[in-house]
């Protein structure tokens, strides 16, 4: 199963993750 997020955000939004990284629920995905 997969969860996909599609969202509008300011252009300075930055993902704080790497492809292939294992994340747990509640861990940050991005910051503005």
Q: Least CB distance from residue 14 to another protein, whole Å?
A: 9
Is residue 15 within 8 Å of 30, Cβ to Cβ?
yes
Q: Least CB distance from residue 5 to another protein, whole Å?
A: 5
How many residues are there in the chain? 32
Q: Could you say which residues in the range 1-32 bind another protein, by CB under 8 A?
A: 1-11, 13, 15-32
Helix (H) or strand (E) run with residue 14 in it? strand 14-15
Q: Least CB distance from residue 7 to another protein, whole Å?
A: 5
DSSP state of 15: E
Q: Which residues bind another protein (CB under 8 A)?
A: 1-11, 13, 15-32
């Amino acid at each position: 199963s997969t969860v996909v997020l599609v969202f509008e955000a300011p252009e300075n939004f930055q993902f704080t993750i790497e492809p292939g990284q294992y994340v747990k629920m509640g861990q940050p995905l991005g910051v503005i």
